[in-house]
Amino acid sequence: NAGVTQTPKFQVLKTGQSMTLQCAQDMNHNSMYWYRQDPGMGLRLIYYSASEGTTDKGEVPNGYNVSRLNKREFSLRLESAAPSQTSVYFCASSRDRGTYEQYFGPGTRLTVT
């Protein structure tokens, strides 16, 4: 059981380049989330998808777009990367919205130069 998988694990971009971070879960979860983790700031929610076909902004959505491709997959796109987007990105999923435990992927370490 793979749980939550993310690709790539590491990425270096130049300012202005675009890329898509991929996330997939095999637990038949309804809800999926994208976070970024920065030193001293904990985890901040970028976007989430409470159920297939819906997406909503989190705390720090500017500069990002998301697509809930199907129930399993939730991608995060940076259209024009900026150095401020250098961070570790985590995808997570949960059975449903509300009080359920979230399961996290291993993370993608992104550096924008």
Partner 1 sequence: GDSVTQMEGPVTLSEEAFLTINCTYTATGYPSLFWYVQYPGEGLQLLLKATKADDKGSNKGFEATYRKETTSFHLEKGSVQVSDSAVYFCAFYNTDKLIFGTGTRLQVFP
Interface residue list for partner 1 (CB under 8 A):
4, 31, 33, 40-45, 48, 50, 56, 58, 90, 92, 97-99, 101-107
Quick check: helix, strand or coil at residue 32? strand
CB of 42 to partner 1, least distance (A): 4
Closest by CA to 24, choosing from 45, 41, 49, 42, is 49
Q: Which is nearer to partner 1, 17 or 102 (CB)?
A: 102
CB of 106 to partner 1, least distance (A): 5
Q: Which is nearer to partner 1, 81 or 89 (CB)?
A: 89
CB of 49 to partner 1, least distance (A): 10
Cα gap 92→25, rounded to integer Å: 8
Q: Which is nearer to partner 1, 77 or 97 (CB)?
A: 97
CB crowding 11-42: b at 16 or more within 10 Å, else e: bebeeeeeeebbbbbeeebbbbbbbbeeeeee
Cα gap 100→113, rounded to integer Å: 37
Q: Which is nearer to partner 1, 63 or 107 (CB)?
A: 107
